Structure 1
Amino acid sequence: MELLHCPSTSIGQTTATVTQHWRFSYNSITNCRNFKVSSRKTSFFDFFHLRICGAPAARICMRPLSIRACTQAGTTGSDPLLNKVSEFKDACWRFLRPHTIRGTALGSIALVARALIENSNLIKWSLLFKAFSGLFALICGNGYIVGINQIYDIGIDKVNKPYLPVAAGDLSVGSAWLLVLVFAVAGLSIVASNFGPFITSLYCLGLFLGTIYSVPPFRMKRFPVAAFLIIATVRGFLLNFGVYYATRASLGLLFEWSSPVVFITAFVTLFALVIAITKDLPDVEGDRKFQISTLATKLGVRNIALLGSGLLLLNYVGSILAAVFMPQAFNRSLMIPAHIVLALCLVFQAWLLEQENYTKEAISTFYRFIWNLFYAEYIIFPFI
């Protein structure tokens, strides 16, 4: 039995010893990800060769039984059907744009938590299913909006985001259409059957705005002001107001603004505006090629990055001032230091972007960091 080492496979200090019982190190195999096993009918004692090789991907080959470890998604088994199912699941997950799902989920959970904290005496376990169904409906709405955008942006995405499943060819246009229709119907059905006509109308408004953002002949994403107003409205106002309204209605309460909810709605609406103008920073190359007019193509990457950073700093300064002048409404001991730290992190990230001369990689890192700040605000919101 032969054991060969290569740089792409991490074995550590382990030396495989072949004994009469055909032992080998299981740990050396499990260090690799996603095993693909292929075999023919044979006994384990028919093994006569073990190789660990890796050019270019890490592999563990056993003849006639072969176990190949590779870093590509979807290689979960030798069954072609299982492989196709796994690949389809991976494509669907990328189709949903996970970073947007995290924002939607965190936002809805934070608003529900805030409403429950304000009315803890009305909490009922029977409402748990309704809360999860509402969250699922929001994720469906999110999936519809980002999905229909990918369907109509295939050419642009092949330049700007070639890793997206439709642009990469991992998900057919027909499958993409089926998914967005399922998302729309499922989400709308859940909302209509559980949350009443007013919330249903808000949900429909969100779907409508998401549609005209991407679909011709409207395609409002062509117009910078209209584009970022749509994003700010859907992700900022509609999400926060709608979730808070629905939660209070489920508790049997009339809608009433509270200072923290007014704060988070205003804060996130402005934040969504920043996301809307900075999301085009990594996409300047493709937008120029397809003559898509954005603030980034008109004003330049550096100017938009500075504008976005400035608006977020304004958000943080406003948060600190709100805590200073309204101590009865906010938890000052958390709200002030938390927003100071987040503001300093933003300044540091903007400085790094300047130091790296606004390369595409640096811009992508900066944009991801803005989303992390977005998540952070919702995480601390229930406690402020």
Structure 2
Amino acid sequence: MSVLLSCSSPFSLLKTSPPTHSFPKPSSLSFFRFSPPSLSLHSTPSNTSISIRASTQVGAAGSEPPIADRVSEFKDACWRFLRPHTIRGTALGSTALVARALIENPSLIKWSLLLKALSGLFALICGNGYIVGINQIYDISIDKVNKPYLPIAAGDLSVQSAWLLITFFAAAGLVTVGLNFGPFIFSLYTLGLFLGTIYSVPPLRMKRFPVAAFLIIATVRGFLLNFGVYYATRASLGLAFEWSSPVVFITTFVTLFALVIAITKDLPDVEGDLKYQISTFATKLGVRNIAFLGSGILVMNYVFSILAAIYMPQAFRQWLLIPAHMIFALSLIFQARVLEQANYTKEAISGFYRFIWNLFYAEYAIFPFI
């Protein structure tokens, strides 16, 4: 039921950490750090002198930024720490599975279930935050090259603060699930946290092994999330678990989609990975080949979805499933062509990867109605 991945952090995959990499531990450093409000992470020559003068004036006055600004900056750092695009995937996926279970059993819908559903969503977001957070703690030196905007790598969040946050996420998620969803769902949630931990943390650090890494992502984001949420929702309705064709479809579809995310997420990180001699599919096979491979798997996924609608009209709404997946497939082919024409620049690669996540969101958006 946990999600991890993100597949960011982890919701950077498939990487081998540098031999000399040392892993941070909680320390007695300041709880959190802020830069003066006048400084920018992307300053230009035209504003550098202004920032320096502003910082000098603040230092000369012996004053600190207003507490409201410091709190606002800390909130922004925490939000970036959660990797928002993975949060959106988790929230949309769990909402879609709950909606599907309710659509299948409309007579059992009760307002009292709303609070339980919200508590489940809170637990999933906590699990997601723990997994992407612990990955950032153990990837600081790599993120300084590949993702310098992340809060720890950028110096906007201290390592101690990050440890406190992920400890809170893990504890809050486990307590919430344990109190509301029973031992079976608790065990699935714990499994998700465990997989997210061994993905990033030595001595196992499974992200060093490409196949193991993307299998972890596929398991957590593909199977555990979909099966766990659907099972928990039916249990809350007083029903025994029972697979339905749409749920089998989304579980299979998203598991394959998670594999694509796992192999394409390293495309924007090739520069830093090569610098630190980190082995990924992108560094071994090349950006162009991985982009084509990921696109090919997704197009195949869409073709199978269309065939499922054609040969199982009793299980799916053809008028929605067929045209939607035709549009998704054509859009993906077009974006792959745009990437090719842009000669695989870093900006174009990042845009292509964001588009893949948008397709992921779109699949869950239509799922309750298929």
TM-score greater than 0.5 by the shorter chain: yes
* Matches for 1:118-197 after TM superposition, within 5 Å: 118-197=104-183
Instruction: Identify the residue that residue 351 of structure 2 maps to in structure 1.
Output: 365
Confirm or deny that 1:356 pairs with 2:338: no
Instruction: Identify the residue that residue 253 of structure 1 maps to in structure 2.
Output: 239
Instruction: Identify the residue that residue 32 of structure 1 maps to in structure 2.
Output: none
Q: Alpha-carbon deviations, 1:172-229, whole Å to 9, x = none?
A: 0000000000000000100000000000000000000000110011111111101100
Confirm or deny that 1:203 pairs with 2:193: no
Pick the aligned partner of 2:254 from 248, 265, 268. 268
CA distance in structure 2 between the partners assigned to 1:291 and 1:221 by the alignment:
14
Instruction: Identify the residue that residue 22 of structure 1 maps to in structure 2.
Output: none
Instruction: Report deviation, 1:257.
Output: 0.1
CA distance in structure 1 between the partners assigned to 2:249 and 2:366 by the alignment:
13
Amino acid across the alignment from 1:374:
F
Confirm or deny that 1:230 pairs with 2:206: no
CA distance in structure 1 between the partners assigned to 2:300 and 2:360 by the alignment:
14
CA distance in structure 1 between the partners assigned to 2:205 and 2:267 by the alignment:
19
Amino acid across the alignment from 1:247:
T
What number of residue pairs does the alignment pair up? 313
Pick the aligned partner of 2:200 from 191, 214, 218. 214
Q: Considering only aligned residues, what root-mean-square deviation do their CA atoms show, in Å?
A: 1.5
Pick the aligned partner of 2:326 from 340, 345, 348. 340
Instruction: Report deviation, 1:284.
Output: 1.0
* Matches for 1:3-82 after TM superposition, within 5 Å: 56=47, 80-82=66-68
Amino acid across the alignment from 1:325:
Y
Amino acid across the alignment from 1:116:
L
Q: Alpha-carbon deviations, 1:143-164, whole Å to 9, x = none?
A: 0000000000000000000000
CA distance in structure 1 between the partners assigned to 2:92 and 2:248 by the alignment:
17
Amino acid across the alignment from 2:179:
S
Instruction: Identify the residue that residue 14 of structure 2 maps to in structure 1.
Output: none
CA distance in structure 1 between the partners assigned to 2:281 and 2:80 by the alignment:
27
SS at match of 1:344: helix
CA distance in structure 1 between the partners assigned to 2:157 and 2:169 by the alignment:
16
CA distance in structure 1 between the partners assigned to 2:315 and 2:69 by the alignment:
54
Unaligned runs of 5+ in 1: 1-35, 37-54, 60-67, 69-77
Instruction: Report deviation, 1:304.
Output: 0.5
CA distance in structure 2 between the partners assigned to 1:375 and 1:56 by the alignment:
38
CA distance in structure 2 between the partners assigned to 1:158 and 1:379 by the alignment:
34
SS at match of 2:242: coil
Instruction: Report deviation, 1:83.
Output: 1.1
| Greater strand fraction, Structure 1 or Structure 2 | 1
SS at match of 2:112: helix
CA distance in structure 1 between the partners assigned to 2:188 and 2:276 by the alignment:
33
Instruction: Report deviation, 1:56.
Output: 4.2
Unaligned runs of 5+ in 2: 1-36, 38-45, 55-63
Instruction: Identify the residue that residue 228 of structure 2 maps to in structure 1.
Output: 242
Instruction: Identify the residue that residue 301 of structure 1 maps to in structure 2.
Output: 287
CA distance in structure 1 between the partners assigned to 2:273 and 2:129 by the alignment:
23
Q: Alpha-carbon deviations, 1:225-275, whole Å to 9, x = none?
A: 011000111011000000000000000000000000000000000000000
Instruction: Identify the residue that residue 49 of structure 1 maps to in structure 2.
Output: none
CA distance in structure 2 between the partners assigned to 1:346 and 1:100 by the alignment:
20
Instruction: Identify the residue that residue 100 of structure 1 maps to in structure 2.
Output: 86
CA distance in structure 2 between the partners assigned to 1:289 and 1:212 by the alignment:
24
Instruction: Identify the residue that residue 330 of structure 1 maps to in structure 2.
Output: 316
Instruction: Report deviation, 1:332.
Output: 0.3
Amino acid across the alignment from 2:94:
S
Amino acid across the alignment from 2:217:
I
Instruction: Identify the residue that residue 47 of structure 1 maps to in structure 2.
Output: none
TM-score normalised according to structure 1 size? 0.80
Confirm or deny that 1:375 pairs with 2:361: yes
Instruction: Report deviation, 1:291.
Output: 2.3
Amino acid across the alignment from 2:107:
N
Instruction: Identify the residue that residue 74 of structure 2 maps to in structure 1.
Output: 88
CA distance in structure 2 between the partners assigned to 1:288 and 1:156 by the alignment:
10
Instruction: Report deviation, 1:290.
Output: 2.1
Instruction: Report deviation, 1:79.
Output: 6.2
Q: Alpha-carbon deviations, 1:82-115, whole Å to 9, x = none?
A: 1111100000000000000000000000000000
Q: Alpha-carbon deviations, 1:303-340, whole Å to 9, x = none?
A: 11000000000110000000000000000000000000
CA distance in structure 2 between the partners assigned to 1:155 and 1:295 by the alignment:
20
Amino acid across the alignment from 2:252:
A
Confirm or deny that 1:287 pairs with 2:287: no
